[in-house]
Amino acid sequence: MFAKNIRVTDPYWTVLIRIPEGEGRLGMAIAKKRAKRAVDRNRLKRLVRESFRHNHERLARFDIVVMNKDITAATDNKLLVKSLDTLWSKAIKRIGTPGK
């Protein structure tokens, strides 16, 4: 996944996306180095999963890995979800639609 992908970033997240050979999947690499407390890591994972569920129709056909950055653990939930929504759109535009 880390070799052949499209990478989109912002101050909070890095998203890697590619067209899979099989079904699409969601992966998360929420680093302990960047979010020290377990409660923060779990909150970030819940936010990513929830955002993915809300955008499932657009994202289900891709392999996606989401990674957090240093400032993410201290940021408001609304801002993080808005950031993810923007990144989903950017990633889909950059990768194009499969079959074209």
Q: Report whether 71 contacts 11 (CB < 8 A).
A: yes
Q: pLDDT (tens digit, 9 = 90+) per residue, 36-48?
A: 999 999 999 999 9
Give the global pTM.
0.90
pLDDT per residue as tens digits for the range 22-74: 888 999 999 999 999 999 999 999 999 999 999 999 999 999 999 999 999 99
Provide the number of structural domains found in the chain. 1
C-alpha span between 32 and 91 (Å, rounded):
25
22: domain CATH number is 3.30.230.10
Does 59 fall in a domain?
Answer: yes
58 in a domain, yes or no?
A: yes
Question: Domain limits at 76?
Answer: 6-95
Does a structural domain hold residue 100?
no
Q: How sure is the predictor about 1, in pLDDT bands with cuts at 50, 70 and 90?
A: low
User: What are the C-alpha distances in Å from 43 to residues 1, 29, 65?
Assistant: 24, 13, 17
